[in-house]
Amino acid sequence: MRSVYAKILAWSVATLIISMGLFFVISRQIEMNLGAGDVFRHIQALELEQTTRAYEAGGQNSAADVVAQLDRVMKWRHYILDSNARELSTGADLSALVARLEGHWGRPISSPNGLIFGTRAPDGRYLLIVEAPFSIELWTLLPYYGLILITVAALCWPLAFHIGSPLRSLTRMVDRFGQGDLSIRARSGRRDEIGTLSRSFDRMADRIETLLTAERRLLQDVSHELRSPLARLSFATELVSTEPDRDKAVMRIRKEVSRLSTLVDALLQMTRAEGDPDSGQRKDFLLDDLVRELAEDCTVETHARGCQLALSCAGNISMRGDRELIHRAIENVLRNAIRYSPSGGSVTVHARTEGDDAWIKIEDAGPGVPEEELPRIFDPFVRVDNSRTSATGGVGLGLAIAMRAIRLHNGSIEARNIHPGLSVTIRIPLA
């Protein structure tokens, strides 16, 4: 049985049938034990006492009057017998009826006309037998059970539809998504488990669409970026056999190989940054120590460029995250600032806390970035014209890697021109 509709309906009907069976058994048990209670026994004892008193005081006629009165009031048939099983009011022999009640005195037994109750007087001289013209038969209850069954089935059908319909819709969406329709979404507003499943599917679909789109874009960008250095490398290898200055040709080959190596390394870094966020090592560390360490590591580069590095860092900035990713992000921004700073210029690094966030601001004194290009500088393989070109040796992935590393920590990174120079601000939640 593969249909949710059928399973819910079958389970509901089976539950109802079992419940009705138990109800019938309990009803029969109640029927068989009806009269065993103290109240019912007291009523029978009172009827027996009234009838025997009338018989002893006025004979058969008085007993007959009392029996007739009881039959009229109770709507049952009453028999008062002596110890020989003869009825007091008519003298009829009811020994066969008494024989049927042997072993069942005080409890009802079934008869063709309903139920029979029997009670003995304490001294055993008189007997009271009552025929109640009613009975609880299964066939008489079948129409009611059928009505209950139809009602429950009618009520369970909307439930089955309410549960099964969104599951079928979700199945169709999963099939379409698997066939390549990456835009399909459930957009469910339900608050139950099915709604949770639908929202999980939407999040998964968003993630997969983002990754596949990024992968396609990355492949296009990589193919574009590799085409030029490979062409130059091929041209340089041909020049080795014809160029008089072979050392110059070899140097060109080495330069292109170095550029390819840098490109591949940058691609690997970005791939790691875009990987599973849970795969990183999230630990507590001091962000101020990390910033000071980076500033010290970049001293050689600043001296080579003829610029200065100024550090303003608050102490004891403790945070939790992947230290290696944060290190890579800040390092890429810092080395980018040093690369584009002019000789005699300065690069400043500020690190502080504000509320629950850590703020790192890195400023250079370079030419800045055209305003229309600012939103794009964090995209892969984007290199702005003028001084920020491939001539500086970059491949356009440093800031893209930094952005992905910061986003994995639920932070943000943005850039703005400060005339002269560029200011990059990084915000990272401490927790």
pLDDT tens, residue by residue, 283-328: 899 999 999 999 888 887 888 888 999 999 888 899 998 888 888 8
Instruction: Output phi, psi for 349, to 5 deg.
Output: -125, 125
pTM above 0.85, yes or no: no
Within a domain: residue 112? yes
Q: Which residues pair with 128 in a beta bridge?
A: 80, 119
Within a domain: residue 27? no
Q: Which amino acid is at 286?
A: L
- Say whether both 294 and 245 belong to one domain: no
- Say whether both 308 and 208 belong to one domain: no
CA torsion, ordered 29, 33, 38, 43, to nearest 10 deg: 130
Q: What is the 3-state secondary structure (H, E, C) of 176-243?
A: HHHCCCCCCCCCCCCCCHHHHHHHHHHHHHHHHHHHHHHHHHHHHHHHHHHHHHHHHHHHHHHHHHHC
The arrangement of strands across the sheet holding 114-120 comes to: 77-82, 126-132, 114-120, 109-111
Within a domain: residue 147? no
| C-alpha distances in Å from residue 312, one per residue of 15, 120, 348, 361, 428 | 74, 109, 8, 10, 17
Check which CATH number belongs to the domain holding 105 and give it.
3.30.450.170
Q: 323: which residues sit within 8 A by CB, 6+ positions away?
A: 281, 283, 285, 290
| Among 136, 153, 171, residue at a domain's last position | 136
Q: Which amino acid is at 409?
A: H
- Say whether both 208 and 113 belong to one domain: no
pLDDT of residue 18: 79
- Say whether both 361 and 304 belong to one domain: yes
User: CB of 122 within 8 A of CB of 80?
Assistant: no
- Say whether both 247 and 319 belong to one domain: no
- Say whether both 296 and 394 belong to one domain: yes
| Among 221, 250, 275, residue at a domain's last position | 275
- Say whether both 341 and 375 belong to one domain: yes
pLDDT of residue 81: 87
When pLDDT is cut at 50, 70 and 90, the band that residue 53 belongs to is: confident
Least confident of 74-83, 126-135, 291-300, 357-366: 126-135
Which pLDDT tens digit goes with each residue over 341-360?
A: 888 889 999 999 998 999 99
When pLDDT is cut at 50, 70 and 90, the band that residue 336 belongs to is: confident
Structure-model confidence comparison of residues 277 and 369, the more confident one: 369
- Say whether both 269 and 293 belong to one domain: no
Tell me the residue range of the domain where 222 lies. Answer: 185-275
When pLDDT is cut at 50, 70 and 90, the band that residue 429 belongs to is: very high
Strands 282-286 and 318-322, sheet pairing: antiparallel
Radius of gyration of the chain (CA): 48
pLDDT of residue 305: 84
Check which CATH number belongs to the domain holding 210 and give it.
1.10.287
| Relative orientation angle of helices 323-340 and 246-273, to the nearest 10 degrees | 140
Least confident of 109-123, 155-169, 219-233: 219-233
Q: What is the DSSP string of 270-282?
A: HHHHTS-GGGS-E
User: CB of 423 within 8 A of CB of 368?
Assistant: no
Domain tally for the chain? 3
pLDDT of 371 above 90: no
Token pair 């056999």 is found at 241
- Say whether both 270 and 284 belong to one domain: no
- Say whether both 231 and 206 belong to one domain: yes
- Say whether both 350 and 417 belong to one domain: yes
Check which CATH number belongs to the domain holding 386 and give it.
3.30.565.10
Within a domain: residue 230? yes
246-272 mean pLDDT: 71
Within a domain: residue 405? yes
Within a domain: residue 168? no
Within a domain: residue 11? no
When pLDDT is cut at 50, 70 and 90, the band that residue 275 belongs to is: low
- Say whether both 234 and 352 belong to one domain: no
pLDDT of residue 414: 93
| Among 120, 136, 152, residue at a domain's last position | 136
pLDDT of residue 43: 79
Q: What percent of the chain has pLDDT over 70?
A: 80
Nearest by Cα to 424 from 332, 288, 301, 312: 332
Average pLDDT of the chain is: 79
Within a domain: residue 152? no
Structure-model confidence comparison of residues 114 and 408, the more confident one: 408
